[in-house]
Amino acid sequence: MFPKKPKIRKIVYLDNAATTAMDPRVKKTMEPYFSDLYGNPSGIYEMGRTVNKVLSEARGKIAKVLNTQPDNIIFTGGGTESDNLAVFGIAQMETGGHIITTKVEHKAVLGPVKRMEKKGFEATYLNVDGEGRININDVKKALKKNTILISVMYANNEIGTVQPIAEIGKMILKWRKENNTKYPYFHTDACQAAGALDLDVEKLHVDLLTFNGSKIYGPKGVGALYKRKGVDIQPQILGGGQEFGLRSGTENVPGIAGLAKALELVQADKEKENKRLIKLRAYFWEQLQKNIPKLHLNGSKLDDIKTRLPNNLNVTFLDIEGEALLLYLDEYGIVCSTGSACNSVSLDPSYVITACGLPYEYAHGSLRFTLGKNTTKTDIDYVMKYLPWIVGELRKISPVNCSLNHSTT
């Protein structure tokens, strides 16, 4: 029998990898550009010039965080568009070539790469180890004379694994020099990393970097692509020639102002917030292990910011379907995910977890809990009041209960 629902429904939001609540300071920054200063930034009249200045200021703020020049920042409609612009933009500059990526990339990268394969490009999808991390030597071995692009995400959206981007970048620079070529260009999707990790593009040695607002307590529907000076890309949206001719369409001024403010805030607070989240996640994992048997931690160890995002906890509850568990938790106001928010319409097992070498049963029974700056110990205690009970009841009625000989971690 399932636990009695509370009279007053409390919401505990643990899906911050999908999207985040807007910071009130970001909202305040955006407000003037909805109904007061609403002019088109391309206009030559005073209001147009004023909002164009807002765009320039936002570009400058973001460039400062990334340690680059403002002209290297291209505003887009979000992380997916930025990834598409990076992959298609580079590939379409050539009539063919070789692209290297990984088996655990976001579909905003995998989709464009697969599309280019159909158009005659060759692609290599790198394997990952049991924690979801690629081997730099595998990247080096995959390189060919006609490799034009390498795309490796900074941190994984499902299991939080952080990839060695700076080390890969250094290796690519060396390879270019040895082979006297401008290729391959190096792209990283930093949408999940932007709120917790360093985005200095000079230290990361990347040519292209994408991020968006919704993962950093900013607005949805806005993102950016960093493009190193001298890297040529083919625009994907044609029209008025905005964003240096690389992304046409009237710019989302409120969103862009909010994006810049959100990035400034999370980067300024990241060290303190990372420590808090690591401690809170450790408490959560300790409580899970203490109260629920047959669990498996997906991804890397929880104690190192260099290998895993501080807010991510992906756990397999053996002998249970993750979708069923998610829906029952929702009945008690507990919000989490079975994987990527952009893939939630699919009931297929997580391709990220299976790429780590785990069987389908582990992928089907996984839940992703991603903490945020508004998550408290009280929230975790509320989850633990109901989660063990729900797991126990679902295991009683699960058709796979005790059907397989599982090991626990």
Residue 9's pLDDT is 79
Catalytic residue among 191, 342, 356, 402: 342
Series of mean pLDDT values for 10-residue runs along the chain (409 residues): 75 98 99 96 95 98 99 98 99 96 98 98 98 98 98 98 98 98 98 98 99 99 99 97 97 98 99 98 98 98 91 97 95 88 62 95 95 99 97 87 48
Single-letter amino acid, residue 279: K
Tokens coding 258? 């909010």
Contacts of 17 (CB under 8 A, 6+ apart): 157, 158, 160, 192, 215, 311, 312, 337, 341, 368, 370
Residue 401's pLDDT is 63
Beta strand 208-212 pairing with 185-189: parallel
Residue 90's pLDDT is 98
Residue 218's pLDDT is 99
Q: Taking a C-beta distance cutoff of 8 angstroms, is the pair 333, 5 a contact? A: no
Residue 347's pLDDT is 61
Residue 345's pLDDT is 55
What is the set of domains in the chain, with CATH numbers? 12-21+270-397 (3.90.1150.10), 24-265 (3.40.640.10)
- Cα 321 to Cα 403: distance, rounded to the nearest angstrom: 14
Tokens coding 405? 């000989």
Single-letter amino acid, residue 178: E
pLDDT in tens, 94-112: 999 999 999 999 999 999 9
Residue 339's pLDDT is 64
Sign of the alpha-carbon torsion through 34, 39, 41, 47:
negative
Residue 405's pLDDT is 44
pLDDT in tens, 163-194: 999 999 999 999 999 999 999 999 999 999 99
Concerning whether 336 is annotated as a catalytic residue, the answer is no
Tokens coding 66? 């990334």
- Each residue of 293-331: b (16+ CB within 10 Å) or e? ebbbbbbbebeebebbbbbbbbbbbbbbbbebbbebbee
Give the pTM: 0.94
Residue 305's pLDDT is 86
Residue 6's pLDDT is 76
